[in-house]
Homo-oligomer: A and B are copies of this chain.
């Protein structure tokens, strides 16, 4: 049962009992208003906006947070308690704990089969049908014809566009920009003061914490692609091993001609025994910087798409057996290492209606399961490619292929047994592709509906994101009704391209991957801080593609208190060692001089961000992990100093409180 403290009033701004030295200094005599009660007439002075502007700013930020809160709650995603409490205070309302949120599949128990198809719920007999790019659920076909969908929350495009337009104005508004910029600068400096004053005390807490250190606190690789989840050396070894065992096995279908592994390599003029990491050529190098296209080619071992098909795909002449085996080896290594988990993404393209069934079959047939892995579905934004090859008549069809099968399996699980099992192990959706490509399209109420989007041009990022979100919203509510697990929306966002991407994700996504471009928008950065939106950052990946390591904003974000985790993205392309996630942490620790407390805080963030079940989170973070602030931290499990968590919490409350103060006279 979820633990909650429903009767909590607005969080105290001091007196958590952990108030470290820095707080005293910051709250007391340092020349700006006392900690918990800035007199509203004083505020603007140190905030460098006028009294009038300050109210405008606070109103804007307030509404932005309300938009996100509403969207998260409707789609059964997460919005933290603390800002909700402040929003209710501003409204003069009493905060009540929300009873909606994501549903995760409980962990597989000992003796239980993760692929068990018993106890699948009955067929509801509902009819599902897409309308304007969103799947609707009807009691039956007749109800669909009458346009009488079942009573589920459906998204409103008009409201979404309204909200979006409001936010587009907000992030460009002078005073809001100034205010956000100043607050972020303040957060930076404040952390530095905190560090100087409390670093040794934090370390002392950790030293006195028995059993637990950075090595045995749990950490999740929050962003990783299944097709690149092994490192280059592992893939090389696997290819050589497969040749030793399977040389004479038919493994490839070259347009109807069956080839054995030996024949395939002969055709490619390759001798597996001679292969090296160099000739395999899957590692990103200086050539891939700012070249997402070249990076994508790195998925082809030895530059041969045949080998990608054979080793890194779920659909091929051997039914994806090699790929499944490699992934299971990665899983088994993780289980051996014990404290590391990973959330690999598998692709659904929306190119044909059978994709889900095939992927589910692969998953079930090869029993691709590890307790240290949680699965996600990534949808590449490549409608334009499929349309130009005439695989799809319009964008709506792509959405249909992506979502309708999932709705059908949700309505009638017994008719889609493998898919139902597979969906039980899926925790979220990702949206992926090169963000630096510009679509030229601007999402508005006048944009063509997905069924009308017949042009060869790709829709904009926001358009994609909205329709992913809209369908997940309906789907999650349906699945919750059925007692099934729901899905988080966790798109790639802000790796490159326009800052509107980050705005779209602010409105729709539980959490994101990358977030680099928050650098470019103080308002969005401040909003991501206020809403504590988790960001899975991959500085080694960025270093090979978009941004040099030392310039990565990870450290800056972390210091300001944005909720960042570390992830590998693509160990095959970026990492050198057998433990890519540890490599990612080690390099960040070295280059950014992170303390153990920093590293453990980031590890804790990764568990909070990920799609693990409630039971697992309790096990890895402690009973009260859902509480904000020090009450939610169990140092015995997380190895994060209470001083740190108290600092974060009080800092967060201080910022939220400023907004509440700014709106007190309204």
Binding site for B on A (CB under 8 A): 199, 203, 206-216, 233, 271, 273-279, 281, 283, 285-286, 540, 543, 549-550, 575-579, 582-583, 585-587, 589-591, 593, 595-596, 639
Contacts and interface: CB of A to CB of B under 8 A. Distances in A.
B576 A577 contact: no
A278 B596 contact: yes
Nearest to A575: B586
A218 to B, nearest CB: 15
A603 to B, nearest CB: 13
Contacts of A590: 540, 543, 549, 587
Contact of A210 (B203, B274, B540, B576): B274
A215 B277 contact: yes
A586 B577 contact: yes
21 contacts: A203-B285, A206-B276, A207-B276, A207-B278, A207-B279, A207-B281, A209-B276, A209-B278, A210-B271, A210-B273, A210-B275, A213-B278, A214-B278, A215-B233, A215-B277, A216-B276, A550-B591, A575-B586, A577-B577, A587-B587, A587-B590
Contact of A279 (B208, B276, B549, B576): B208
Given A575-B586, A590-B540, A595 B211 contact: no
Contacts of A281: 207
Contacts of A279: 207-208, 210
Given A208-B279, A210-B274, A589-B576, A286 B595 contact: yes
Contacts of A586: 575-577, 583, 587
Contact of A274 (B203, B211, B233): B211
A579 B576 CA distance: 11
Contacts of A211: 273-274, 276
A575 B208 CA distance: 22
The 5 lowest CB-CB distance pairs between A and B, nearest first, are: A210-B274, A213-B276, A213-B277, A576-B586, A206-B278
Contacts of A212: 276
B593 A583 contact: no
Contacts of A207: 276, 278-279, 281
Contacts of A271: 210
Nearest to A585: B576
B582 A276 contact: no
Contacts of A213: 276-278
Nearest to A278: B206
A215 B283 CA distance: 13
Nearest to A275: B210
A17 B623 CA distance: 70
Given A578-B578, A586-B587, 5 more contacts: A209-B276, A216-B276, A550-B591, A576-B585, A587-B591
A278 B591 contact: no
A590 B575 CA distance: 9
A636 to B, nearest CB: 11
**Listed residue (A199, A278, A543) with the most chain B CB atoms within 10 angstroms of its CB:** A278
B278 A639 contact: yes
B214 A286 contact: no
A286 B579 contact: no
A590 to B, nearest CB: 6
A473 to B, nearest CB: 40
A577 B278 CA distance: 24
Contacts of A276: 206-207, 209-213, 216, 639
Contacts of A206: 276, 278
B286 A593 contact: yes
A596 to B, nearest CB: 6
B209 A286 contact: no
Contacts of A203: 278, 285
A245 B608 CA distance: 39
A215 B276 CA distance: 9
Contact of A576 (B209, B285, B582): B582
Contacts of A550: 550, 591
A271 B595 CA distance: 24
A208 B286 CA distance: 20
A236 to B, nearest CB: 8
**Listed residue (A212, A216, A591, A595) with the most chain B CB atoms within 10 angstroms of its CB:** A591
**Listed residue (A206, A216, A576, A577) with the most chain B CB atoms within 10 angstroms of its CB:** A576
A283 B549 CA distance: 23
A310 to B, nearest CB: 20
A140 B146 CA distance: 118
**Listed residue (A206, A213, A276, A286) with the most chain B CB atoms within 10 angstroms of its CB:** A276
Given A549-B590, A586-B587, A199 B286 contact: yes
A577 B582 contact: yes
A147 B577 CA distance: 60
A275 B169 CA distance: 54
A241 to B, nearest CB: 16
A214 B277 CA distance: 8
